[in-house]
Amino acid sequence: MISEAQQSDWFLHHLSQSAGIMPGRGVAWLDALRSDARAAIARLTVLNRKQEAWRYTSVEPLLQQRFITAGTDIGAFRNLDIRPWILPGMDAFRLVFVNGRYLPRLSAVDDLPEGVTVGSLRTALSTDPGRLATWFEQQQGRSDNLFTALNSALINDGALIHIGRHVVLRKPLEIVYLSLDQERSLLVQPRNLVILEAGAEATLVERFVGSEKTTGFNNHVTGIQLSGGASLDHYRLQDESDRTFHLSSISLSQLELSRYRCTHLSFGGAWARTDCETLLKQPGAKCELNGLYTVGDGQLNDFHLRVRHMTPGCTSRERFKGILHGKGRAVFDGHIIVDKDAQQSDAQLRNDNLMLTRGAEVDTKPQLEIYADNVKCSHGTTVGEIDPAQIFYLRSRGIARTKALSMLSLGFAADISNEIKPEPLRGYVERRLLQKLGGEPDGDNLSEHHV
């Protein structure tokens, strides 16, 4: 077991590597943010299984590793051929990050509409930090998260997305995070800010991919703010190497009549966790969180969702499905809080899991915490196996058992996958599921770099 001293040493080791790589030094508010984050790391309680948030997820495999903080050495990637990682037919504005650093030559953000700013957070921190101060104050995330504090202490680069009032982005905006270092185990910490002003509309696609031989820790933090009437469709695909550790922390703030719809797709990583906190701050806000995950031998996939209804008349939906095989482990912790003044709240939460093997394991914990008396709320979860009669039916028609299991699993996932609007992404997800479950060999559209 990792001791308190060893855990403290782990964080101090990674904090000590920051010299010379951080932009915006000398900016008062940014220096204060970094200083406060360092102080929080020293002050916060060490992580252990007695804490409810970490009850089912051990951090020991992560804290036993030592990583090199990714810096500025990205010159070798400036002329990288990224075609193997691009989804065929995906027409999108595109930001490309390699080992946590933005590469403009590999990106495609020309011809953006007036009123849209898309680019590197690192550049903005160096050239126009004053503009970011208010946004950072509004998007600090939960103060009790050690890994978010580590990200804040070492803010380096990430995506800055600002869409002005009533601007509609007609094409999706795609962010590709490539992990490519095969010789070192890197700590990569993107920090994103996504701001949609009143009435703005956009689709955001994030994809975490890379070489199958890459190892490292991706500690990713995103702050999203939706003003009144804004609308964001958000897709997040985590399909990194099975040797990597991945932690995403998402903080979402929604104002009056805003709409947010996110689909989490998680297939890769040895240890992968997503923490998502949503604050419905003004009446009429709507939030929909969907998810599809699959885990096999040597994999842990963990989702922690916290949706808080703070005001009357808001709606939230959480619907996650998991497919487990081999000796894979999954954790789902969905928590909905309805404040006393949040009358007429409408909240539904569901988690369904399909177990393909007896060696797989899932811990699922849906929760409702309701302080208002005029609400419509429900939650539920299922854990089950495929009906043997369905397998028999398919096998009696000459379909191999492995293929039959894959077909039925794809049908189980269809409620989520069929609602993925960008067709190239939907096609990739369906093929990737079949590949993960052994239903078909590697296809032409699944690059060797993805698997």
The 3 state secondary structure assigned to 322-375 is EEECCCCEEEEEEEEEECCCCCCCEEEEEEEEEECCCCCEEEEEEEEEECCCCC
Confidence check: pLDDT of 101 > 80: yes
- The reply to whether 207 falls in a domain is yes
- The per-residue pLDDT for 51 is 86
- The reply to whether 181 falls in a domain is yes
- The per-residue pLDDT for 22 is 81
Higher pLDDT, 20 or 289: 289
* 66 and 189 belong to one structural domain: yes
Strands 271-280 and 286-295: unpaired
Mean pLDDT of 13-38: 85
* Count of all residues that appear for the chain in the document: 451
- The per-residue pLDDT for 202 is 98
Q: Which of 265, 282, 299 is the last residue of a domain?
A: 282
- The reply to whether 315 falls in a domain is no
Q: Which of 282, 312, 337 is the last residue of a domain?
A: 282
- The reply to whether 189 falls in a domain is yes
- The per-residue pLDDT for 143 is 53
- pLDDT-based confidence at residue 19 (cuts at 50, 70, 90): low
Q: Which of 282, 298, 317 is the last residue of a domain?
A: 282
Q: Number of structural domains, the chain?
A: 2
Mean pLDDT of 184-196: 94
- The reply to whether 339 falls in a domain is no
* 277 and 132 belong to one structural domain: yes
* 394 and 270 belong to one structural domain: no
- The reply to whether 254 falls in a domain is yes
At 220-246, the pLDDT tens digits run 999 999 999 999 999 999 999 999 999
Among candidate residues 248, 326, 317, the one with its CA nearest the CA of residue 294: 326
Q: Strands, DSSP E only, in 181-328?
A: 186-188, 191-196, 201-210, 216-226, 231-238, 244-254, 259-266, 271-280, 286-295, 300-309, 315-324
Q: Which domain holds residue 400?
A: 387-451
* 40 and 188 belong to one structural domain: yes
Of the listed ranges 19-23, 46-50, 279-283, 328-332, the least confidently predicted one is 19-23
- The reply to whether 345 falls in a domain is no
Q: What angle do CA 65, 70, 71 make, to 5 degrees?
A: 150
Mean pLDDT of 118-138: 89
Residue 72 DSSP code = S
Mean pLDDT of 347-359: 96
Based on the number of CB atoms within 10 Å of its own CB, is 225 exposed (0-12), middle (13-18) or buried (19 or more)? Answer: buried
- The reply to whether 43 falls in a domain is yes
CB atoms near residue 112 (< 10 Å)? 16
Higher pLDDT, 320 or 82: 320
- pLDDT-based confidence at residue 441 (cuts at 50, 70, 90): very low
